[in-house]
Structures are given as structure tokens and as C-alpha cells.
Amino acid sequence: MGLLDSVSPRAIATSALLLGSLAQGVFARPSPEPKSDWVRKGPGGSGGYFKKKVHDQIRRAVGGAKRTAELESCAETTTTTITAPKPNPWAPLSNEETASVVEWLFSRGDLNLTTTEDATAWDNSIVLVESMWPNKTDAVNYLDANAAAPTKYAHVILNNRATVDAHYADILVGPLPIDSATTWSPLEFPYTKKSGGTVRNLDADQSALYSEWIYPISASIADITLDLWNATGMGLDNDTLSIWGIDPLWQDDGRVTMWSAFWNSPTGDFDDSTVLPLGLYFRSDVTGRDPSQWTFEGWLYNDIFYETTEEFRAAYWSEGFVKNSPNVDGQWAQTGQVGKVEPLDLLPPPVQVAPAGSRYAVDPEQQYVEWMGFSFYVGFTRDAGMALYDIRYQGERIMYELSLQEALAHYAGNDPMQSGTAYLDTFYGFGPYAFELVPGYDCPAHATYLNSSFYVDETCRTHINSICLFEFEADHPIQRHSTSKYVSITKNTYFVIRYVATVGNYDYMFSYSFFLDGSIAVEVRASGYIQSAYFANNHDYGFQIHDSLSGSMHDHVLNFKADFDILGTSNSLELVSLVPHTTTYSWSKTPRNTMKIDRKFIESEDEGQFNWGANSATQVIIVNENATNKYGEYRGYRVLPYTGTAHLTVKGSSNLNNAAHWAEHDIVVTKRKDTEYRSTHPLNNQDTFEPPIDFSKFLDGENLRDEDLVLWLNLGMHHIPHTGDLPNTVQTTAHSGVQFMPSNYFLEDQSRRTVNQVHISYGEGEAAVVERFGQFEASSENATCKPNYEPVEENLEAYVGDIVVRKFPFDPNNPFYQTDAIGKK
């Protein structure tokens, strides 16, 4: 099927290839190459998630008219298109803009850049090119006051390795488009560490680390690994072991220490190496860039430390040495159907349908969405994936930004691998691993699927169908009440925008949901393979879950930014608590034990870190003290746990030092500043004592009454894996969320606006009288169509992976398919 042969939501997204038009004039060519088939067939427009051609296709699909209640046909599930109020100020760079920035960077002799393909460990290269976020004041003036659009800049990260002091450099390039006024400058203002936008690079010599250090050390005990496991890991094509270790590297006392662990290799195509630990570790001091100065510091096996290889070998071949059994790959670690199939499971499960097509609307060029009074813009970055901006309800801004900041997975164990691991996942990035979604499984098949893209190695990679939008009906009503004379009940439909990022062994599903009562929720679910520990001596840190396997305990903490604007930017944080109370009333003769409400405001950032109240007795409400309703109550939005939440259990982490102070409480509130745009930096793991962003420095005692406030909220899970986590963790329990709900913001429940409710009057055996409030009835004799149910089996053979287009030299005519994942974590 051709890219534009269909106008189904899935085909729409597949055709929107984020690859742009030919960018004529960006690179001079004597004779332009013929357009390849995908170019001729039409995906063009801006280099965002949506394509201009898709916009046109959808318009043709719906006849260019607004949807009405009187539908002629239910045959096509289509997406309504609209025009955004303003072009998206958070939109990604177009293909042409990215290509021009890359060409300009390579033309700068002072940057001394080499293409990634030709770069060695002693060359400078480009890591990232993406749009720089606008300052909030500029963006709000543009959206609200008809000011000019914020000046566009590119955010670039360089990997400067042509020096003994290898480092990453954040720079700004602009203004864009490229012209004689364009220049570059260090990006420093949003970081707490003032180092000219640079941070050291501890991974500059990754290739030499393996070829000149790790593999030779492993080869030196090949006799032992062959005897223990009948396997070796020496950097050869026939290796049957993998070797990898802690993250971040330990950075105490100015030295860089690495613990490496041995893992068995999968025997098939399953990505299950993280459940195959072997219980052997070695420690190295890898300070500096000269491998000849690195030092080997010892082996650890069965909780016994050996300072030298000779000592370890002598002990191993001695009589009485205890040899533990390995973890070996097998069906127990592989996904797929096993066990008895229940008879009725062979029947197709229930599905939901959208009988009249989508009830939401999208501007595909500007990544703008509307649903039932809500509206927002979509942004996407390499580091943190999808973000939502300018979230409004009934035209009033509720939040300026709702976005993921960081995801921490902090492990613990008796061995140095688990004890030394605390992944900060934006280092790997959520954008690069937001892979294609599976229709009918990740999202309903009737969803609209959109693309995302990111820059890497002078190419633009496009994740096809990596974001989905859909409306869903909950398994319970949003409102109901019964009496002896009537029943009143309202359907609970809600809207979701979702993506999944597979960062190493874990698949994180992020869902942003919108409800008819004006509530908003953000949820994360986790699945995938656990990172496990070897069972020996690990009883205090996890359950034994297989023959030689311990489920390594760990905390997941995911930090989100919620920048509220409740009826403007002058907001306060009120805590409303239920407290026990003993008092005597005018009508009581003796004291009565009861409860009452205690109200207080968070006055300054000195009080700005706290956890959810015990017994869920404290409400956290963002209010505008200058905006009360007609009853004198502050209008606001309440913030509350939607499902379980978590903050970091570890106090003063030896792994993280100053790199993740944001993880220490459930909630932190600060005064919003353009200089405090993010709670973390993707390179914080490279310098944990002096990271680019030390979140604790945000808390400097500033006033929090009648200010522009940001809430930094932690979702997460305390995970002690059990046997049910094999082969993969399941999302029924690996689930965390937070909700934002109106609190005295409106004078009544906003779900009363929907017509999808009924009032049934009955009594004394008489026929019921049903009021349907004018809602569309597909089953009535007046219906113009009957719903077409989605197929039981989706066309999953259309799953194709990533599309890549070269940016330097710019080559949009020859895209190719290539999907990269993190082989280990």
C-alpha cells in the first residue's frame, strides 16, 4: 500500500514522514536528483510530527466541512482538522532549518567539527540540534497579546573530544533562519553551574574502554569463565558473555571508579540479558583519558574480594572453592504464549469503536489539539520526549507547561553492580526510543497516530506512529444517582495523548488524559525486563525469583514539571488539611471529638518541599488569591495522587550526590524563572558532585505568595520484583499518576455540559420516560449509519520501524529504515 493510499488514522501518521521538502538552496547541487517515490507521493511541509500533506488528506476525507451531529456515513473513521490560534512556538526545527544549522556549524573553523562517521575519540562532533525553548514571557506575550513570535534559536550540544579534557558544550545558534547575523554563544543561563555551558565527558573513550581495558581483563580469566559457565567475553564475534557495569561512574575524591559485571548472553532474539547476571565483578580506576594510567583494583565473587587476578585465580583453582550456578537463558525469560489456554480466551476480546469518527480535532501542521473545551500544543525533545504547552479549558489557561523532566531508577543490593546503579534516563533520552506504537494494543485501533523525530549523527530519525490520540469510555460513569422515581447517569468519556519510550530494559508508557469535569491526569506505566541481581548474598535486597536470580530492589522516580497559570500568573499554594478537633458548641453541653479544616499557605521556598499528607488528609491546591468565586472561595486547581506515587527512599545517595535532589520529596514548589527551566540536565550523571543543574539551588527562600509558581511532582514506584515480574513486569501494578482537578474554579460540575447522559423516570409499573438530551443514537430508526467495528486482527505487518534522512550532506531523496535500541542499560 502506498503512503497516501488511505486516510485511516494509522495511514495518516505513516504518511506523515517528518522528512520535509527538498530544501532547495540549502545545499547547491549542479543537477538535482530525481525525487524518490516517497517524495513524489507527497509528504511535505514542516519538520514536525505532522505533515502539511496529511492535513490536506484529512480535509479531503471529511469533505472540508466541520463535523455535525447528522452523519451521512460511519464508513470512515476520520480526524477533524482545525487551524491553531497561533503557530506553535514550541514546534521543532524544520528539516531545512536543521540542515542549515548543521551546515553552518561545520563551516565554523573555530568549532573544529568532524562528521560523526569520520570522527575518532579525539575529534569534535555534533550530538544534538533542536529548537531552543522560548522564554515564557515571550511565548505568553505572543499567544495572548499579539506580540511577535519569539525569536527562534537552535539548541546544540557538541561533543568536544579533541582535548585531554573532553567535554560536552551546550551552545545557542541564532537567530534563525541562518543569515549574516547568525552567531553562536555558550548556553549557560538555565544551569546552576556556571561553566560556560560545558560539562565533562566521562564516556569520551568508550571504544578504548572495551578494546584496551575490559576485554583484555576478561580474556585474562578466560580459563575461569570457561570452567564456570563454558563462555567467554573477549570482544569477539563468537562471545557468549557481555560485560557492562554501573551508571553513573563513581566520582569520589576526584577519581573515576567503574565496577563491571558479567552477564550471560541470550540464546535467541529475546532482549533478556538483564535477567542473566552471573555474579562476577571487577573494579577499575579509569580516571583520565590515557588507558596506560588506568588501574585494575580487584575481583568480587560470592561476596569475597580479591585484590589481584593472581589471588583470584589461586583461590578459584584451590580445593573447596564454592562455584555458584549461572543464570541461563530459556523459555522462563522469553515473552510469548505459554501454559494452558483457557477455552474462552480463543474468542476475540471486547473492543471499543468510534462509530462517528473522532470527536477531537487536530491542526497537524502546528501540533495543536482540541477536545471538549480543552486545547493544547504538543512539543517533543530528544531528552524528555513529549510535552504539552498552553493547556486551556474553556479558553482559560490552566497550565503553561506539563512535561516530564527526568526518570530515575535507583537500585540497591549486596553487590557493587546493583548498589552502584542509579540511572538518569534523559542521558539516554526518551525521544530516541519512542518507538512505533502497536495499534489495538498500545492504543485503540481507532486512534490517530502521529510521528516524532530527533537529530542524531547528521541524520533525522523519524519514529513512525509513535504518538497516539484517542477518546475512550471508562468502565464506570462519571456521575449517577438513583431514587425511587428516577435514575440519572452520565457517560465517562475522556481523551488521551500517549507515547511509549523503551529506555534500555524498561518500556515507559506516558499518558496525558483529559476529563469532562475539567480534570487532567498524567500517568506512567512500566513494563519490560527488570534489571536483576545474582541471588547469592542478596536476601536483604530482594526475593529469589529463579534458580540463581534475585529481583533487585529499586525505586522508580519520575519528575514532572507543572507550570500553573490559574487566572493569570499570580498564584499561591494553599494546603487544606483535615485535622482532629475537640470543641464545645453552643448546642452541646460537653466537648465533642470531631474534625475540622485547617488552612495555610506555603509562604516561601523554605517551606516548598513536602510529601503527600498522611491518611490523604491534606489537599494541595494552586489558587489565585485575587480571584474568588461568588461565594468568596479561592478559585484553583487541586493536585492529588491519581494512583500510587513515590519519592526516593535512599537518603544522600552515594551514587547521585548532587545530581538528583529533585527526587527527595513528593512535591517541590518554586517561583518560576526562565533560568530554572528544567529540574535536571541530561548530563548530570557526568559530574554528580557539580552537575550542570543542582536542583537544591532552586530553593533559595523566595516568596511564593502571588507569584508565578511551578510544581515539580514525582511519580514513581517502589519495586521489589517477584516471580510475577518474569519474563516482564506487568503494568497492572507498575503504574503511577497524578491528577489536577478544579477546586471552586467553576460554580458547578462541568460534566453537566455533555449530552451523553440520560434521565430515566419510572414508577408504579408505568413505562419509563427517558430524556436523552439530544444525543446521537446509532441504534435508532433515525440513525443515518451503523458503526463499523474495528477488525479483530490489525494489519500489524505494516509495522516498519524508523525512517532516517541524512542532514549533512542533506539528502531527503534517499531515506532508509533503521531502528536502534539501547542494547543494555
- Same topology for domains 95-200 and 206-329, yes or no? yes
Q: Is the pLDDT of residue 807 over 70?
A: no
200 CB burial (10 A radius; 0-12, 13-18, 19+): middle
**Interacting residues of 663 by C-beta distance below 8 A, sequence separation 6+:** 408, 410, 557, 559, 647, 648, 656, 714
CATH code of the region 206-329: 3.10.450.40
Would you place residue 40 in the very low, low, confident or very high pLDDT band (cuts 50, 70, 90)?
Answer: very low
> What is the mean pLDDT of the segment spanning 68-90?
73
Would you place residue 820 in the very low, low, confident or very high pLDDT band (cuts 50, 70, 90)?
Answer: confident
Distance from C-alpha of 566 to C-alpha of 746, rounded to nearest angstrom? 12
Q: Which of 327-331, 449-453, 813-817 has the highest mean pLDDT?
A: 327-331
> What is the mean pLDDT of the segment spanning 213-234?
98
> What is the mean pLDDT of the segment spanning 423-448?
95
Q: pLDDT tens digit string along 598-613?
A: 999 999 999 999 999 9
List active site positions: 425, 506
pLDDT of residue 76: 55
pLDDT of residue 10: 44
pLDDT of residue 354: 85
Q: Where are the domains positioned within the chain? A: 95-200, 206-329
Q: Is the pLDDT of residue 655 over 70?
A: yes
Q: Annotate 469-479 with b (16+ C-beta within 10 A) or e (fewer).
A: bbbbeeeeebb
Helix ranges (H only) for 189-273 are 206-209, 215-219, 222-229
For residue 550, the surrounding DSSP H or E stretch is strand 549-550
Would you place residue 644 in the very low, low, confident or very high pLDDT band (cuts 50, 70, 90)?
Answer: confident
Tally of CB atoms within 10 A around 745: 24
pLDDT of residue 786: 60
Would you place residue 46 in the very low, low, confident or very high pLDDT band (cuts 50, 70, 90)?
Answer: very low
Helix ranges (H only) for 94-134 are 95-107
Least-confidence region, from 340-354, 405-419, 763-777? 763-777
Residue with cell 542532514: 807
pLDDT of residue 215: 98
> What is the mean pLDDT of the segment spanning 746-755?
97
| Dihedral class, residue 504 (left if φ above 0, else alpha if ψ from -120 to 50, else beta) | left
Q: Is the pLDDT of residue 544 over 80?
A: yes
Q: Is the pLDDT of residue 168 over 80?
A: yes
Q: Amino acid letter at 488?
A: S
Cell of residue 283, nine digits:
573494579
Q: Is the pLDDT of residue 30 over 60?
A: no
Q: Is the pLDDT of residue 317 over 80?
A: yes
**Interacting residues of 244 by C-beta distance below 8 A, sequence separation 6+:** 260, 261, 263, 824
Sign of CA dihedral 541, 542, 548, 549: negative
Mean pLDDT of the chain: 88
Crossing angle between the packed helical segments 309-316 and 222-229, to the nearest 10 degrees: 40
Distance from C-alpha of 216 to C-alpha of 294, rounded to nearest angstrom? 13
Which of the 8 DSSP states describes residue 530? Answer: P
252 CB burial (10 A radius; 0-12, 13-18, 19+): exposed
Distances (CA, A) of 808 to 95, 141, 459: 11, 36, 7
Q: Is the pLDDT of residue 470 over 70?
A: yes
Would you place residue 812 in the very low, low, confident or very high pLDDT band (cuts 50, 70, 90)?
Answer: low
Q: Is the pLDDT of residue 507 over 90?
A: yes
Would you place residue 808 in the very low, low, confident or very high pLDDT band (cuts 50, 70, 90)?
Answer: low
According to DSSP, the residues that pair with 399 across neighbouring strands are 391, 564
Q: Is the pLDDT of residue 1 over 60?
A: no
> What is the mean pLDDT of the segment spanning 339-355?
91
Distance from C-alpha of 69 to C-alpha of 45, rounded to nearest angstrom? 32
Would you place residue 35 in the very low, low, confident or very high pLDDT band (cuts 50, 70, 90)?
Answer: very low
According to DSSP, the residues that pair with 396 across neighbouring strands are 393
Q: Which of 96-100, 447-451, 594-598 has the highest mean pLDDT?
A: 594-598
pLDDT of residue 65: 33
Cβ atoms 722, 733 nearer than 8 A: no
Q: Is the pLDDT of residue 53 over 60?
A: no
> What is the mean pLDDT of the segment spanning 83-105?
95
753 CB burial (10 A radius; 0-12, 13-18, 19+): middle
Cβ atoms 477, 488 nearer than 8 A: no
**Interacting residues of 263 by C-beta distance below 8 A, sequence separation 6+:** 241, 242, 243, 244, 273, 274, 276, 277, 278, 824
pLDDT of residue 13: 39
Q: Is the pLDDT of residue 42 over 70?
A: no
Cell of residue 278, nine digits:
552471573
Topology, domain 95-200:
Nuclear Transport Factor 2; Chain: A, (3.10.450)
Q: pLDDT tens digit string along 547-576?
A: 999 999 999 999 999 999 999 999 999 999
Q: Is the pLDDT of residue 158 over 90?
A: yes
Rounded to the nearest 10°, the torsion over CA 732, 496, 514, 354 is: -110
Distance from C-alpha of 85 to C-alpha of 369, rounded to nearest angstrom? 11
Rounded to the nearest 10°, the torsion over CA 694, 696, 702, 705 is: 110
Cβ atoms 639, 612 nearer than 8 A: no
Greater confidence (365 vs 47) lies with 365
Q: Is the pLDDT of residue 129 over 70?
A: yes
Pairing of strands 154-160, 80-81: unpaired
Q: Is the pLDDT of residue 303 over 60?
A: yes
> What is the mean pLDDT of the segment spanning 656-666?
99
Distance from C-alpha of 556 to C-alpha of 251, rounded to nearest angstrom? 23
pLDDT of residue 789: 56
Q: pLDDT tens digit string along 441-463?
A: 999 988 999 899 889 889 888 89
Least-confidence region, from 5-14, 72-81, 358-367, 662-671? 5-14
Greater confidence (41 vs 596) lies with 596
pLDDT of residue 79: 85
Q: pLDDT tens digit string along 529-541?
A: 999 999 999 999 9
